[in-house]
Amino acid sequence: MNRTTTLRTDASRRRLLERFTWIATAILLLGVAAFLGIADEVMEGDTSRLDEHILLAMRVPGNPAQPIGAAWVEESFRDFTGLGGVGVLGMLTAATLGYLWLTGMRRAAMYVLIAIGGGLLLSLALKAGFHRPRPDLVSHGSMVYTSSFPSGHSMLSAVVYLTGGAMLALLHRQRAVRVYILGCAVLATVLVGISRVYLGVHWPTDVLAGWAGGAAWAALCWLVARQLQSGDHLDLGVPPAGIRPEPGNPDGTA
């Protein structure tokens, strides 16, 4: 790689990281503000009527035990909710860690593990702190084990999919590829959250708070990773955008 190409690549990488930094900062601030606002309204009981209205709108009128739509629709939403389950998210996390490890980005792999593990602990702590009961207006279409606020599936899917998507997007120079990866991450997160309301296991505000909290946590983790990557304390070993590292060549340079 000649000097001109290297300088052009470095400039492109800096612009890309600056955009991600501004976006992540905005997501962090908006996510925290949204979570606190929703939590305040929920604790005061101001969202009860809206929650009930939306939840019942997804049920057959006069038969709250039956979700709207054909049987295949209900089955599809059960599949969607599985995308936010501990088993699936654990498998995806392990796959991401394996990819980062095998491509030489081992410090990045450890950081992703800490970030996702921290998101799980935060979700459990928030559930224990708010201890909101699950919806009792309709029958549950999925097994539940914890309290309702915030939605753990929604929050953890946001943490895992958005964190993983942002990390993978940084490995590609093409804008279309980055948009595609992040779009898939957002779509998976949205489908998981909607499925939790459709199956009657969460109030809508649980899901909104889960999305807000998960997105804020993912943005915070990305910003911390950005500082560690560019600072003097730790190099996460992430190569410049668009350069794929090979085993034995962790930094991806030629």
How buried is 5 (Cβ within 10 angstroms: 0-12 exposed, 13-18 middle, 19+ buried)?
Answer: exposed
> Which one is catalytic: 131, 140, 153, 172?
153
202 counts as catalytic: yes
Terminal alpha carbon distance of the chain: 6
Cα gap 165→184, rounded to integer Å = 8
Cα gap 67→53, rounded to integer Å = 14
Estimate to the nearest angstrom the gap between the alpha carbon of 157 and the chain centroid. 4
Cα gap 172→75, rounded to integer Å = 35
The CA-CA-CA angle for residues 81, 84, 86, to 5°, reads: 120
Cβ neighbours around 9 below 10 Å, total: 16
> Which one is catalytic: 53, 131, 140, 202?
202
Q: Which residue numbers are catalytic? A: 153, 202
